Amino acid sequence: MEPLLPIVTRNSRIAVVIGGGPAGLIAAETLAAARAGIEVTVYDRMATIGRKFLIAGRGGLNLTHSEPLPGFLARYRGAAPALVRAIEAFPPEALRAWCEGLGQPTFVGSSGRVFPKAMKASPLLRAWRARLAELGVRFVLRRRWTGWTDDGALVFEGPGGDSAAIRADATILALGGASWPRLGSDGGWAAILRARGIAVAPLRPANCGFAVEWSEHLRARFAGAPLKRIALSFGGESVRGEATISARGIEGGAVYALAAPIREALADGRDATVRVDLRPDLSDAEAARRLAAPRKKQSLANFLRKTLGLAPAAIALLHETKGAGLPADPAALAQRVKSVALRVTAPFPIDRAISTAGGIAFAELDEALMLRRLPGVFAAGEMLDWEAPTGGYLLQACFATGIRAAEGALGWIGQRPAA
What string of DSSP letters covers 146-175?
Answer: EEE-TTS-EEEE-TTS-EEEE--SEEEE--
Q: 340 pLDDT exceeds 60?
A: yes
* Res. 8 pLDDT band, cuts 50 70 90: very low
* Res. 7 pLDDT band, cuts 50 70 90: very low
Q: What digits encode the pLDDT tens for the residues 277-296?
A: 999 999 999 999 999 999 88
Q: 419 pLDDT exceeds 60?
A: no
Q: What digits encode the pLDDT tens for the residues 191-206?
A: 999 999 999 999 999 9
Percentage with pLDDT > 70 across the chain: 95
Closest CA to 414 of 372, 379, 368, 383: 368
Q: What is the pLDDT of residue 10?
A: 41
Q: 365 pLDDT exceeds 70?
A: yes
Question: Residue 308: enclosing H or E segment and its boundaries?
Answer: helix 300-308
* Res. 2 pLDDT band, cuts 50 70 90: very low
Q: 57 pLDDT exceeds 80?
A: no
Q: What is the pLDDT of residue 130?
A: 97
Averaged over 3-13, what is the pLDDT?
Answer: 52
Residue 120 or 245, more confident: 245
Q: 170 pLDDT exceeds 50?
A: yes
Domain map of the chain by residue range? 13-205+353-415, 210-347
Q: What is the pLDDT of residue 259?
A: 95
What predicted TM-score, i.e. pTM, was given to this entire model?
A: 0.92
* Res. 374 pLDDT band, cuts 50 70 90: very high
Closest CA to 227 of 317, 337, 344, 308: 317
What string of DSSP letters covers 15-29?
Answer: EEEE--SHHHHHHHH
**414 secondary structure, DSSP code:** H
Closest CA to 358 of 270, 264, 273, 262: 264
- Rounded to the nearest angstrom, the gap between the alpha carbon of residue 79 and the centroid of all alpha carbons in its chain is 14
Averaged over 365-390, what is the pLDDT?
Answer: 97
Separation between Cα atoms, residue 42 and residue 19, nearest integer Å: 7
Amino acid letter, residue 300: L
| Average pLDDT of the chain, as a whole number | 93
Cβ neighbours of 66 (radius 10 Å): 17
Q: Give 57's contacts (C-beta < 8 A, 6+ positions apart).
A: 120, 121, 122, 124
3-state secondary structure 219-270: HHHHCCCEEEEEEEEECCEEEEEEEEECCCEEECHHHHHCHHHHHHHHHCCC
Fold exhibited by the domain 13-205+353-415: FAD/NAD(P)-binding domain (3.50.50)
In this structure, are residues 316 and 366 in contact, taking their beta carbons and an 8 Å threshold? no
Burial of residue 62, with CB atoms counted within 10 A of its CB: 0-12 exposed, 13-18 middle, 19 or more buried = buried
Q: What is the pLDDT of residue 296?
A: 87
Q: What is the pLDDT of residue 264?
A: 96
Question: Residue 346: enclosing H or E segment and its boundaries?
Answer: strand 346-347
Q: What is the pLDDT of residue 268?
A: 96
Separation between Cα atoms, residue 291 and residue 334, nearest integer Å: 7
